Structure 1
């Protein structure tokens, strides 16, 4: 006796548009009009029959065929340097929501701070024929040749420098840092240190320029500068180094909330009181700052407004390219003495 091959219960045949049409008692064209939202109108009663048939059969339209017909993948790409950073997680979420309102899905990729990975991901998104790309680059002038060759538009996001030929959206790093230093000076601090993140191109960060502006405007002498990664570990190492040097400043401005959280740990371990012994103000305005101890005073980036501006720029139909720069806002909490 020959055993018959067993067919798993889950291996059901895939429902087709014809199956939906047959069950709903309509033509396949009507099914297409309902699924694609046009081009012809369908009566509410007929649409309800089609939708009920789709639900009953578990029908899923062929995305590739739909993209070919529409001349659009209805998919956008986004590359971030660190998907674990709360700032980029919040920014990606805000972009995803703004894109969804326009009928687009978002594919998010993480370059992990690597230029080689960033270039590979740009090429990968170009080959997938996405409708546009948001790039939070490791460079002030990233390599976008693959997107240009594929005629795929790009917006440089979290990007404060002018980028001729491309739309860019960022925050006023220099003005935000100056705001932080001025606030610390108002608290009576006369020596304010800087913990500044490093970038792949070695370019001068606007937050460092703003820190120097604030120090000079307040008539202070510049405190120590510590260059570390944009991470908790980087901030922790900066705090340890600062304490080992001795004669530490009475206040520190950190270029990211993550760095400031690392600083706080190093200071707590050394038995320092914050802000009585040393005050801290950071940059970003992420949830990390709101749940540290003490709560971090921070220069907040307008993430939702930046995301919407980036989506508008990418899907706005081209035209004049510009750099959209948003002001940052100082959020006063306990770590600075407020």
Structure 2
């Protein structure tokens, strides 16, 4: 019943006008006597009125729109980030506009210009790519949070994990298992995340005694991580040295690698261990064979909103690093 209680209900109970109730609900109490304020507050409690935070903000004439521009919503990780962020923004009284760039810089710019016309109060860039529009946005100082990938055109608040450390953790895992021929699969069109994961993996293996020649590195073409994994896996398993351990820089790369292994009669795990960096909940349904470094995408939303709020308060940019774990 409380969902249907309106300002008019409160006004009737308190014996005042709707505009008076509206002002008091929104914190403007100077135009009402203490007795009137007390009567309205008592009426609010009596009828169980709960103000809608989005509606209140819109009535103040403020833009409560926040734009999330994601690179690829087909990716379960990005879809999970979008869902958790929408819920966190809604709880804070904001409305999220969601756009998918399909990892295309020209489409990213199209959405950035469109969101500027909508006078959004903040931007969330999930896996942003370099583009002229992004450079303009960064130069403008607009409140922007970069998620999963750091700002490719400069500084900015970043929400994600320590990707370099995650790559190093995978290297330690393989070394502790006694694997001798490790490999790593990554996209040629890399990002800050993939570059950091790769560099962390390679650096830790070197620390533990591997030469560069002893580490198989395979990159895949295109923007689809499924295709990246499949193509790179085809080259790896068709080469003269078959790895006994492979790090895939995302779950979808691992899916592609597994497909190429199955086509050659190889089993994962068994013939080769595979670790990915993502660990979305989908894996337990479609890839129970996959061991992952799990990133807590489901809690990204709260961190993203907290980051936006820190920017709105004028606090300096920084990073909000979240913990990861082996699944």
TM-score normalised over the length of structure 2 = 0.79
Deviation at 1:165, TM superposition (A): 4.8
2:28 corresponding residue in structure 1 = 39
1:295 corresponding residue in structure 2 = 289
- 2:103 is the alignment partner of 1:110: no
SS at match of 2:98: strand
SS at match of 2:233: helix
1:330 corresponding residue in structure 2 = 326
Aligned partners of 2:152, 2:104: CA distance in 1, in Å? 22
Structure 1, residues 130-149: CA drift from partner, whole Å, max 9, x if none? 11111124337882424754
- 2:147 is the alignment partner of 1:145: no
- 2:215 is the alignment partner of 1:222: yes
**Aligned length, in residue pairs:** 305
Gapped regions of structure 1 (runs ≥ 5): 1-16, 52-59, 332-338
- 2:233 is the alignment partner of 1:239: yes
2:75 corresponding residue in structure 1 = 85
Structure with greater helix share of residues? 2
Gapped regions of structure 2 (runs ≥ 5): 1-5, 30-36
Aligned partner (choices 165, 181, 191) of residue 175 of structure 1: 165
Aligned partners of 1:203, 1:48: CA distance in 2, in Å? 53
Deviation at 1:243, TM superposition (A): 2.4
SS at match of 1:287: coil
CA contact (8 A) 1:176 1:330 kept: no
CA contact (8 A) 1:255 1:283 kept: yes
CA contact (8 A) 2:144 2:157 kept: yes
Deviation at 1:258, TM superposition (A): 1.0
CA contact (8 A) 2:150 2:156 kept: no
- 2:186 is the alignment partner of 1:205: no
CA contact (8 A) 1:196 1:208 kept: yes
Aligned partners of 1:205, 1:237: CA distance in 2, in Å? 19
Deviation at 1:182, TM superposition (A): 1.4
Question: What RMSD, in angstroms, separates the aligned Cα atoms of the two structures?
Answer: 3.5
